[in-house]
Amino acid sequence: MKLDEQPFRYDADRSVYTSTALAFGFLILIESSLLALLIFVLVPVAWAKTLLLIGLLALNGWAITKLRQPLTTFHALTPHSLYLRYAGFQAELPRSALVAAQPVQESVGGLATLSPRHDAEHDRVVALFSARGQILLTLSEPHTFHLGRFQRVTARHVLFNVDQSDVLLAALNLPQSAPVPATHLQDWETISPNRSLSPSSPPASAEVALLLDDLTRHFGEQVVVDGLNLRIRRGEIFGFLGPNGAGKTTTIKMIVGLLRPTAGRVVVAGHDVWVDPLAAKAAFGYVPDRSLLYERLTGVEYLQFLAQMRSIDQAEADREIDYLLDLLDLTSDAHKLSGAYSFGMKRKLALAGALLHRPPVLILDEPLNGLDPRSARRLKDLLVEMADQGKTIFLSTHDLHTAESVCHRAGIFYQGQLMAEGSADELRTLTAVPDLESVFLSLTEETSSEVSS
């Protein structure tokens, strides 16, 4: 060890290791016994039998060594580099390339590994054995890792274990999420391929609650979302308007972490959805265009299940569930199986689930679909009240009247691009037409004409 190295050790939980090692050891024993039997039966020459048995013993010894490697790991920190080591894996990361480090606690199921592996879905290298002492590192740019003699991968994140993770985090002295560039936080000019608008005055708080930065999604050669940029502030209701097939639902799936962008990023309440997914998802509530419920649970049971998943105190959850059921006219049907609900009732139950943990950001995909006029009016009033309390609401809708009457700003999205954004007054001024519906028709028809010509 170098003189300037500060070691950081990880000792695996022996009980966790024992169960894993016994399972692998049992398989090795069975396979070795079968191979030894085949050698005795099929190999007639004594010296050949001896060589093969020695080789089998050597292979078993190598396997046992591999099984023991995750038991103890020594990472090291120097003034210039962080050295990560795990089961024969070594990586030297310059400290200048580290932009974020955060404690996490992801489920070990499917993650624990006896040798490091590449998790392409989350753009990270996983060198992890248990749920204890997990740290997720974020790099300024993709780094090349050698996972074996013949395997090289690139990734921007590393997930690993270490004892005294708080000491290592303090020594690294990094933010917990990658910082949002100041230029993005301050730039409030409209993002549009051909136009620009001055946005309306933001709410009292200038904090950006939802940031879409050059968000892009390709399906093969088809560009469904093309470099979408939005900055939506705390306490703002933003209407996301567009016809069917414009790319609205694809955009929302990228915002909530259901679909990985081809390029760009999404930041919710300061957390990058693809860098810090747990914190980001805890900060928003989401109602998809089609309600997905556990239809063998009653309405109350479904909401209680969500409360348990989000670790909400039982008494607080009961109060919140009663309030939401009453607000959305579901009290009389609360103890019926949700599978027997009408379409509109399912929409309201899904909305109650999204509001249950009082998230600072609410993502709604066509929330008024299937609601009766009374429930729709109650929902609009609720959205306005939530915005007054500082909540941020991203509202995808076909209902232009709702967007005009409720939203602080609206963006017209068509053929994967944001055609214009601003308040209803600004959009009307842009096209010199009397209402938002006429603005929508003017912009989309104009674009269709440009494409056809």
CB neighbours of residue 260 within 10 Å: 14
371 close to 399: Cβ distance less than 8 angstroms? no
Q: What is the DSSP letter of 451?
A: H
Residues 163 and 18 in one domain: yes
Instruction: Look at 273 and 42; give whichever has higher pLDDT.
Output: 273
Q: Are residue 196 and residue 136 in the same domain, yes or no?
A: no
Residue 239 lies in a domain: yes
Question: Which residues are within 8 A (CB) of 132 and not within 5 positions of it... i.e. 6 or more apart?
Answer: 13, 161
Do 164 and 229 fall within a single domain? no
Looking at the structure, tell me whether residues 136 and 192 fall in a common domain: no
**Which amino acid would we find at residue 445?**
E
**Rounded Cα–Cα distance for residues 157 and 153 (Å):** 12
Same domain (yes/no): 368, 244 = yes
Residue 421: count of CB within 10 angstroms of its CB: 27
Residue 157 within a domain: yes
pLDDT at 105: 72
- pLDDT range class, residue 309, cuts 50, 70, 90: confident
Domain of 433?
Answer: 182-283+359-452
| Residue 144 sits in the same domain as residue 227 | no
User: Is residue 99 one of the residues assigned to a domain?
Assistant: yes
Reply yes or no on whether the pLDDT at 15 is more than 90: no
**Would you state the pLDDT for residue 199?**
33
Instruction: Report residue 359 as tokens.
Output: 């998230």
List, for residues 109-166, the tens digit of each pLDDT value: 545 566 788 887 678 888 877 777 888 898 888 888 888 666 788 888 898 888 888 8
Q: Is the separation of the CB atoms in 256 and 283 below 8 Å?
A: no
pLDDT per residue over 234-290, tens digit each? 989 999 988 777 888 899 999 999 999 999 999 998 899 988 888 898 899 998 887
275 and 260 share a domain? yes
pLDDT in tens, 59-116: 776 666 655 555 567 788 888 899 888 766 788 999 988 988 888 877 655 455 667 8
Nearest to 290 by CA among 350, 333, 240: 350
158 contacts: CB under 8 Å, gap ≥ 6: 84, 91, 93, 124, 125, 127, 136, 137, 139, 145
Same domain, 133 and 214: no
pLDDT for residue 214 is more than 80: yes
Per-residue pLDDT tens digits for 367-417: 877 677 777 787 888 888 888 888 899 998 877 777 777 888 888 888 888
Per the prediction, the chain carries an average pLDDT of 78
Q: Are residues 163 and 217 in the same domain?
A: no
**133, 106 Cβ separation under 8 angstroms:** no
Of 127, 145, 175, the last residue of a domain is 175
In a domain, residue 250? The reply is: yes
End-to-end CA distance of the chain: 69
* Domain presence at residue 58: yes
Query: pTM for this structure?
Result: 0.54
Q: What is the CATH number of the domain that holds 381?
A: 3.40.50.300
CA-CA-CA-CA torsion for 294, 295, 297, 298, nearest 10 degrees? 120
Q: Residue 33 and residue 177: Cα distance in Å, rounded?
A: 51
Domain end call among 125, 155, 175: 175
Whether residues 117 and 16 fall in one domain: yes
Residue scoring higher pLDDT (221 or 443): 221
pLDDT tens, residue by residue, 174-209: 876 555 443 333 332 332 333 333 333 444 445 889
Length of the chain measured in residues: 453
Say whether 199 sits in a helix, a strand or coil.
coil
199 and 124 belong to one structural domain: no
Answer yes or no: is 310 within a domain.
Answer: no
Residues paired with residue 90 on neighbouring β-strands, in sequence order: 85
The predicted pLDDT at position 363 comes to 94
Q: Both 195 and 164 in a single domain?
A: no
Does 296 reside within a domain? Answer: no
Would you call 128 helix, strand, or coil by DSSP? coil
Domain boundary (175, 203, 237) is at 175
How many domains would you assign to the chain? 2
The answer to whether position 365 is within a domain reads: yes
8-state DSSP, 71: G
> Is the predicted pLDDT of residue 170 greater than 60, yes or no?
yes
